[in-house]
Amino acid sequence: MNKIYDVIVIGMGVAGCNMAYNLKNRGQNVLLIDKSSVVATGGSRAAGAFVSPKIGKGSPLQTLTNEAFSFAVDFYKKNFSEYFNQTGVVRIPKDIEDNKKFDIYKDFNDTPYKHFSHNKLKDNGINSEYDGFLFENAGVCDSIGLCNALVKNIDKASLTVNNIIQKDNLWYVGKYMAKKVILTTGYEDNLLDIRYMGIHGTWGSRGDFESSLKIPISIHKSISISANLNGIIKIGATHNKAKDPCLLCKNPLDELMEKASYLIDTKKLHLTKIFCGMRSGSKDYFPLVGSVIDTKYMLKTYPKITKGAKEPLKKIDNLYILNGLGGRGFVFAPLMADILSNHIINNQEIDSRINPDRLFLKWCRKKNNIS
């Protein structure tokens, strides 16, 4: 008879890898499944993997992002310092309007920062007419190295999962069995009816360049440019909402390179690798962490929920999700995995900001969504 795992995690991107690592450290028997036999093939492979705080006017999403940022920096420094380069990240206003906003943002910077004048930027090889914020704690991960290190000692299987079946308190995923399943499949959300979470993809690309250019700090100004790390500079961004990644794949770096050329001397860059990938976001941009609601049961049992009736939510037993990490998978994943593990193992309540339940009744009320 096949082994029964405590948990099967489906999807080996940064979400699945952090989830598996966290559960394994709590003594759980974990199997990681992905359609690829290689760790981190999805958005997590393409990611520049910058780990930097969010700036703004103190929105709830900024607060949550920066909680996750502090957690991630501590986590990477303590456990995976080899794959985290604390280069600092300087945030530069996009344009004159954005520059005015930076004046307001500084009052809401809940992460330590330094004012960084445009002259100082110039001294560091960065062209800008505006001053920026330097976040010295921020940095860049080696996305593939990190994901591999997270799951070094964890059982893995290569399988395209088309369906998951629950029978007699066990989940069956192909020939594998477990008491619990966690979905960490990124923008691909077709295993179950989870339309209420509004998962959508945003397409992006990244180029890695060999260069002797002296850029000691990483930069973010609508695109991200890494510090020169051992002769390599990474440039990446994700801005294109699209269902079909390949449509945009013709010249994936053109727009990036134009933007980069205003910031650094791009003539000194020699392209070595191109990565393209899709990141997944939720309807309200907050992560999706927790149990999964049985949509079919709810609609059949309580048809009035489409008219605004509030009914108790029925969850699918022992099924969880960690998704919707947006453009900050490497910032959010460690804290979100910790929260979900605490929920699964210690029955701790999920923070309402990230619990996908928040989206369900609203989605039901929008009758057009429901076929």
Ligand X SMILES: Cc1cc2nc3c(=O)[nH]c(=O)nc-3n(C[C@H](O)[C@H](O)[C@H](O)COP(=O)(O)OP(=O)(O)OC[C@H]3O[C@@H](n4cnc5c(N)ncnc54)[C@H](O)[C@@H]3O)c2cc1C
- Contact residues for ligand X (CB under 6 A)? 10-16, 33-36, 41-44, 46-50, 160-161, 184-186, 188, 191, 204-206, 224, 236, 238, 277-280, 323, 325-331
DSSP strands (E only) in the chain = 4-10, 30-34, 50-51, 84-85, 89-91, 114-116, 132-135, 139-141, 155-158, 165-167, 170-173, 176-183, 200-211, 218-221, 223-225, 232-241, 269-281, 288-293, 315-323
**Residue 39 C-beta: closest distance to ligand X, Å:** 8
DSSP sequence for 83-148: GEE---EEE--SSHHHHHHHHHHGGG--S--EEE-HHHHHHTT---SS-EEEETT-EEE-HHHHHH
Angle between helix 329-346 and 14-25 (nearest 10) = 40
Q: How far apart are CA 226 and CA 264, in angstroms?
A: 11
CB of 307 to ligand X, least distance (A): 34
For the bound state, the minimum distance from the C-beta of residue 292 to ligand X, rounded and expressed in Å, comes to 15
Pick the closer one to ligand X by CB: 48 or 298: 48
- In the complex with ligand X, the residue whose CB is nearer, 159 or 213, is 159
Q: Shortest gap between Cβ of 365 and ligand X (angstroms)?
A: 28
Please state, in angstroms and rounded to a whole number, the distance separating the CA atoms of residues 285 and 54: 13
Return the H-helix or E-strand segment holding 245.
none
d(CA 151, CA 154): 5
Smallest gap from Cβ 290 to ligand X, in A, equals: 15
Q: Is the dihedral of CA 123, 124, 125, 127 positive or negative?
A: negative
Q: Where are the alpha helices (DSSP H) in 113-241?
A: 118-123, 143-150
For ligand X, which is the closer residue by CB, 185 or 211? 185
Look-up of token digits 């705080």: 53
205 versus 266: smaller Cβ distance to ligand X: 205
Our CB check for ligand X shows the closer of 185 and 298 to be 185
Task: Name the residue nearer to ligand X (CB basis): 20 or 364.
Answer: 20
Nearest distance in Å: CB 219, ligand X: 12
| Dihedral angle, C-alpha 208, 42, 238, 256, nearest 10 ° | 20
Please state the closest distance from residue 187 (CB atom) to ligand X, in A. Answer: 6
Q: Which is nearer to ligand X, 278 or 364 (CB)?
A: 278
Select 48 or 93, whichever has its Cβ closest to ligand X. Answer: 48
User: What's the distance, CA 291 to chain centroid?
Assistant: 18
CA distance 78 to 60: 27
**Min CB(304)–ligand X separation in Å:** 33
Min dist CB 43 to ligand X, Å, is: 3
- Give the closest residue to 182 by CA, choosing from 294, 18, 311: 18
- Cβ closer to ligand X: 150 or 350? 150
